[in-house]
Copies of this chain bind each other. A is one copy, B any other.
């Protein structure tokens, strides 16, 4: 039994007409000899409507009941699409999380999938050619309905693909695939034919927003090949997959940026054991996540600690730093809420030293001052003034030649 998973987002199933387009895609999958698992989101706007309804009913809705309410959005779209399948004479039916054994923890509104009942799926696929699955939801061991949180339908799709042993998980969306950078700020941005899981994780977390980050983690863990493509065209899309040698030849695959950044600087921190814990412990306790952290070597027993947080968390962060200042004494707190982060990402970086030098040179050529630098194995990030963000993206995109295809002409053949 060859199985393919297809996932369609809210805009792809918003109306009957759009669902007919989805029906075409599913039909093609069947023609190619696959049994199909079709994961659907709620129709565009429905989830927001249901969440607004919950807010109307309660200032602080019980999260388990909110999940039971919100899950009806996907149940409706799965049932409506299955009607179209039945009308087309295709053996298909809708399945919700409970019916398919998509088990999650009890972390309501942002539950994590623990297991999927492979036997149930296979048994249902003996009787049906298409199972239409409600995305974004599952059930607890006690049988209560959970939702996976925003974007969770991608994770549902990848988890089902892993459980069912699908050859491919197609994520249909309203863009053509993953781009070298945001086409809205860089007209040279080019669609990538393929990208590694790790690069995709860095791109997604930086706001590339094509795939939900947890779905990519899942795909990497279970080696599920994910093809991101458009519902509204027949373009081949971008394959998110494991690394291969051809990928390592490419120094940088994409440029990401994030303007939701604020920098906090603590100056004259006494460089004693436990200093970092005293600073970041209270932030973690308050549930505030810190992005980049930098600490310079100390001079005369004092050092500077710099970090960035999401702008909406700046106010609370500064309040907490005020407490830290009183406890630790002597240090000075500064901040800058007009910064942005620009990053070059590529698995090829691992084996090449030149990326940092190239990045700094390119930014300098435009007189863009670098405020903070941070590196990982496959990413180099610079914090700069936010007014330079777009310019920096375009400059780096050009510096690494991303407007040109990185694969030979016969790249298609490599994509199997």
**Chain A interfacial positions (CB closer than 8 Å to B):** 16, 19, 50, 53-54, 56-58, 60-62, 64-66, 68-69, 71-72, 75-76, 78-80, 82-84, 86-87, 93-94, 96, 98-99, 143-144
Cα-based distance from A68 to B131 in the complex (angstroms): 14
Cα-based distance from A58 to B83 in the complex (angstroms): 7
Closest 8 pairs (CB-CB, A-B)? A72-B72, A69-B79, A62-B86, A68-B79, A58-B83, A65-B82, A65-B79, A61-B83
Q: Max chain B CB contacts within 10 Å: which of A50, A69, A84?
A: A69
Task: Give the residue name and chain of the B residue nearest to A100 (CB).
Answer: B143
Of B50, B57, B143, which is within 8 A of A16 by CB?
B57
Of B57, B80, B144, which is within 8 A of A69 by CB?
B80
Cα-based distance from A79 to B51 in the complex (angstroms): 12
Q: Please give, as numbers and ranges, the residues of chain B lying within 8 Å of A94 by CB-CB distance.
A: 65, 68
Task: Give the residue name and chain of the B residue nearest to A16 (CB).
Answer: B57
**Nearest CB on B from A146, distance (A):** 13
Q: Please give, as numbers and ranges, the residues of chain B lying within 8 Å of A65 by CB-CB distance.
A: 79-80, 82-83, 86, 93-94
**Nearest CB on B from A369, distance (A):** 51
Q: Please give, as numbers and ranges, the residues of chain B lying within 8 Å of A19 by CB-CB distance.
A: 57
**With A64-B93, A68-B75, A83-B66 as contacts: A99 and B16 at CB distance below 8 Å:** no
**With A16-B56, A57-B80, A84-B57 as contacts: A99 and B143 at CB distance below 8 Å:** yes
Contact A68 B62 (CB under 8 A): no
State the copy count for this chain: 2
Contact B62 A69 (CB under 8 A): no
Contact B57 A68 (CB under 8 A): no
Q: Please give, as numbers and ranges, the residues of chain B lying within 8 Å of A68 by CB-CB distance.
A: 75, 78-79, 82, 94, 96
Q: List 18 A-B contacts (CB under 8 A).
A: A16-B56, A16-B57, A57-B80, A57-B83, A58-B83, A60-B87, A61-B83, A62-B82, A62-B86, A65-B83, A65-B94, A68-B96, A69-B83, A72-B72, A93-B144, A98-B98, A98-B143, A99-B143
**With A72-B72, A99-B143, A99-B144 as contacts: A79 and B58 at CB distance below 8 Å:** no
Q: Max chain B CB contacts within 10 Å: which of A19, A61, A79, A143?
A: A79
Known: A50-B76, A99-B143, A99-B144. 18 other contacts (CB 8 A): A19-B57, A53-B80, A54-B80, A57-B80, A58-B84, A62-B83, A62-B86, A65-B83, A65-B86, A65-B93, A66-B83, A68-B78, A68-B82, A69-B76, A69-B80, A72-B75, A93-B144, A98-B98
Cα-based distance from A87 to B58 in the complex (angstroms): 7
Q: Please give, as numbers and ranges, the residues of chain B lying within 8 Å of A84 by CB-CB distance.
A: 57-58
Q: Please give, as numbers and ranges, the residues of chain B lying within 8 Å of A76 by CB-CB distance.
A: 50, 53, 69, 72
**Nearest CB on B from A368, distance (A):** 50
Task: Give the residue name and chain of the B residue nearest to A134 (CB).
Answer: B68
**With A99-B143, A99-B144, A143-B99 as contacts: A66 and B54 at CB distance below 8 Å:** no
Cα-based distance from A19 to B93 in the complex (angstroms): 34
**Nearest CB on B from A329, distance (A):** 45
Q: Please give, as numbers and ranges, the residues of chain B lying within 8 Å of A99 by CB-CB distance.
A: 143-144
Q: Please give, as numbers and ranges, the residues of chain B lying within 8 Å of A57 by CB-CB distance.
A: 16, 19, 80, 83-84
**Nearest CB on B from A150, distance (A):** 19
Q: Please give, as numbers and ranges, the residues of chain B lying within 8 Å of A87 by CB-CB distance.
A: 58, 60, 62
Q: Max chain B CB contacts within 10 Å: which of A60, A76, A83?
A: A83
Task: Give the residue name and chain of the B residue nearest to A120 (CB).
Answer: B143
**Nearest CB on B from A131, distance (A):** 12
**Nearest CB on B from A200, distance (A):** 34
**Nearest CB on B from A128, distance (A):** 12
Task: Give the residue name and chain of the B residue nearest to A87 (CB).
Answer: B58
Q: Please give, as numbers and ranges, the residues of chain B lying within 8 Å of A78 by CB-CB distance.
A: 68
